Amino acid sequence: MKIVKVAIIAIPLITGITSCKKEFLTAAPELSLSDVNAYDTPARIEALVNGLYVSAKSGSLFGGRYQIYNDIRAEEFTNRTSNNVTGYNVYQGTNTSADTYVNNFWNQGYLVINRANVFLKGLDENQSKLTPALYANYRGEAKFLRALTYFSLVQIFAKPYVSDAGASRGMPLRLLAESSTANNTLRSSSVAEIYAQILKDLDDAEADLPDTYTTPLLRTTRAHKNTSIALKTRVYLTMANYTKVIEEGNKMVPAAAPFTNTARTAHALQANVANVFVAPFTTSESIFSLPFADTNAPGTQNQLGFYYNVGNLEFFLNQTGAGIYADPIWPASDARKASLTSNYALTATNTVRRPIK
């Protein structure tokens, strides 16, 4: 009888184990999801939002090349190596469509834009998976990143808006989720059309985004209302629409004391500007930053230190030319100049930068 009892108990146990194995083998892998399953849960949707930020901070875009190309197109730095791989063509203004490294920058920008478009489409199709507040939040973040990317690209690949009120040729304005090459022949929109879409996205983002977040890290690394407003002030400044610059700026910094909007993220300048550049990099002066960990290497010859630090030193600070360093409106007593440049000096030949002992 004892043997019979054991056998009866063992049978359902074996059945249960077999069932579990089948479920385990057919479970959707969390690290590799099809578009059918990607929006199944709030956690997965949040992971997609985080992925948009990861794409934006690529070394080919905001994690390196965007900063570098903006630095070296003006008079602030002097090239030392004549290396096209590290931007010499950009520095000279001789880059062409065959320039692989500029192409990488362009391609990464449109990758971010299309990923935002794909996400927005999927988000709308799965709105019921989220609370209304989270749905709006994520939609606002995607539109902010799309606007930021378009604004960054149009400044480098098109004429300034103020040269002809945006009548010049701009870039392809992609607002649909693309999954094939069928729309690769999309014509370029005008600069004015690009700017109009940037402002529309930022207005939408301002309406959708939360006033603030619960931690300094989130307030610095995730878009909120002030993030969108701050970018709008920069867009309007580029358009020379100073009335709108003031109007938008007053939303963040009211004209009356205490000169901060306490209903939102309360931004304020630091008493010492150097505080902005030390850990944990989340001061109230920081409106938006992309976080980097030791594991987030921007890739070969994309890292900022490669360009400006002793050792490689592709470019060095222009101390005597038309750049801002020698401009009398930026005196030596300015805390930014004193704090950020006082530890280094250029040699007499301006070829190697060495620490001041």
% pLDDT > 90, the chain:
52
- Residue 101 located in a structural domain: yes
| pLDDT in the model for residue 237 | 98
Q: At 148, phi and psi to the nearest 5?
A: -60, -40
Q: Are strands 315-317 and 77-79 parallel, antiparallel or unpaired?
A: antiparallel
The arithmetic mean of pLDDT across residues 31-43, rounded, is: 80
Query: Which CATH number does the domain housing residue 140 bear?
Result: 1.25.40.390
Burial 317-333 (b: 16+ CB within 10 A, else e): bbeeeebebeeeeeeee
Closest to 207 in 3D by CA, of 269, 141, 127: 141
- Residue 127 located in a structural domain: yes
Tens digits of residue pLDDT in 112-144:
999 999 999 999 999 999 999 999 999 999 999
**Where residue 4 falls among pLDDT bands split at 50, 70, 90?**
very low
- Residue 261 located in a structural domain: yes
Number of domains in the chain: 1
Q: State the residue range of the domain holding 245.
A: 42-301
The arithmetic mean of pLDDT across residues 334-345, rounded, is: 70
Comparison of pLDDT for 9 and 273, the residue scoring more: 273
Q: Which of 87-91, 209-213, 231-235 has the lowest mean pLDDT?
A: 87-91
- Residue 11 located in a structural domain: no
| pLDDT in the model for residue 84 | 87
- Residue 9 located in a structural domain: no
Question: Is residue 295 over pLDDT 90?
Answer: no
% pLDDT > 70, the chain:
85
Tens digits of residue pLDDT in 137-174:
999 999 999 999 999 999 999 999 999 999 999 999 99
User: E strands along the chain, which residues?
Assistant: 77-79, 169-172, 188-190, 315-317, 344-346, 353-355
- Residue 134 located in a structural domain: yes
Whole-angstrom distance, CA of residue 103 vs CA of residue 86: 13
- Residue 8 located in a structural domain: no
Max mean pLDDT among 6-15, 171-180, 264-273 falls in 171-180
- Residue 329 located in a structural domain: no
State pTM to two decimals: 0.86
Comparison of pLDDT for 341 and 47, the residue scoring more: 47
SS (H, E, C) 35-92: CCCCCCCHHHHHHHHHHHHHHHCCCCCCCCHHHHHHHHCCCCEEECCCCHHHCHHHHH
The arithmetic mean of pLDDT across residues 175-180, rounded, is: 93
Collapsing DSSP states into helix, strand and coil, what is residue 30? coil
DSSP class of 29: P
